[in-house]
Amino acid sequence: MRPVEPQHMRAIWDAKNEAFRDHWGYGQRSEDDYVRWLEDPYNDLSLWQVAWARAEDGGEESVVGMALNFIYPEDNARFSFLRGEVRTLGVLRSCRRRGLGRALLVRSMHALRECGMTEVVLEVDTDNLTGALRLYEGVGFRTLSRDAIYRKPIT
């Protein structure tokens, strides 16, 4: 892991899309989506935790996992809390089940605490196949609220 620089954004974007391509609701992302993502005013790269690995053949490094963390000052002021959010936590399939997601999450909590946050929130699809819910509960996260999304195809 190392600090994120602006030139890393494309590699992070590509790895994020790869990590989530088997998740519910995933859809192919466009170049316009990438540009909008880059322009998010809440992007604070100093909060992001990104894991890199070098190819076995000694080639280039690539992103293998990321925790993209955010602080929303207006919400914190409005609701009188000091809350950070882990908006995206993803690990490439080939690197899962090695503790990388946990390490990224723990580093995220430390980074947010260093910024004065007293709580961290995240969202999860409790039915996802990666075991994310177990990971989150294993480091102390508890349910704040639950949502249901319904779908009915129409013909």
Answer whether residue 35 is part of any domain: yes
72: domain range?
6-138
Per-residue confidence band for 22, with pLDDT thresholds at 50, 70 and 90:
confident
**Weakest mean pLDDT among 73-77, 95-99, 117-121, 145-149:** 145-149
Answer whether residue 59 is part of any domain: yes
Domain total in the chain:
1
How many Cα atoms sit within 13 Å of 80 on the Cβ side? 0
Answer whether residue 84 is part of any domain: yes
Output the domain CATH number for residue 112: 3.40.630.30
The model's pTM: 0.87
Answer whether residue 146 is part of any domain: no
Q: Which two tokens stand for residue 6?
A: 């602006």
Per-residue confidence band for 119, with pLDDT thresholds at 50, 70 and 90:
very high
Going by C-alpha positions, the residue among 93, 75, 94, 92 that lies closest to residue 84 is: 75
Answer whether residue 153 is part of any domain: no
Per-residue confidence band for 146, with pLDDT thresholds at 50, 70 and 90:
confident
Answer whether residue 152 is part of any domain: no
Answer whether residue 61 is part of any domain: yes
Answer whether residue 144 is part of any domain: no
Q: Which helix (H) or strand (E) holds 84?
A: strand 83-91
Q: Which two tokens stand for residue 88?
A: 């995206």
